[in-house]
Each structure stands twice: as structure tokens, then as C-alpha cells.
Amino acid sequence: MIGGLVSRFAAGLRFPTLFGLVGGLFLLDLVVPDLVPFADEILLALGTLLVGSLRKRRRDAPPPRAADLTRTAVKSTT
């Protein structure tokens, strides 16, 4: 049940394998005792959340061109 939910969530990510590796390291780190409690668990949890927030790019919208970005910057300064 949980594996299916994680698989569906990871399918929408840009790097699903990296998400699985970091998540697996986090789970393994919860089991292994360490010298500084919760420091590495917090860092791995934040890394997992960071990788999990990287979604696939939409294919229907083209990336913005540099000329469009400079026109937007000029309009916002005037």
C-alpha cells in the first residue's frame, strides 16, 4: 500500500531513482546509531524533501527566452 503511493509519487519526479536512494539512506540512517543524535537524520530528511520537490518539466510550455526575460526586467524597473 505505502509502496504503491511512493511509486506513484516518484513517477512524477524528475529524478525518481535519486529520490529512492536518498529516502532509503534516510530509513537506514534511522536504524544505525550515531554520535550526534538527529543531526544526520534532519539533513537526510531535508535532502529527501529537496529531491522530492523537483517535478518533471511541462512539455507544453516552451522555456522562456533570454529576450523575454530582459523585456520583463525592463518593464518592472520603469
- Of the candidates 19, 40, 17, which has an alpha carbon nearest to the alpha carbon of residue 30? 40
Domains of the chain: total: 1
Range of the domain at 48: 2-77
d(CA 74, CA 78): 7
What residue type is 40 in one-letter code?
D
Is the model's pTM score more than 0.75? no
d(CA 33, CA 29): 8
pLDDT in tens, the chain (78 residues): 777 887 888 888 788 888 888 888 888 878 887 777 778 788 888 888 888 887 776 666 556 566 655 665 555 555
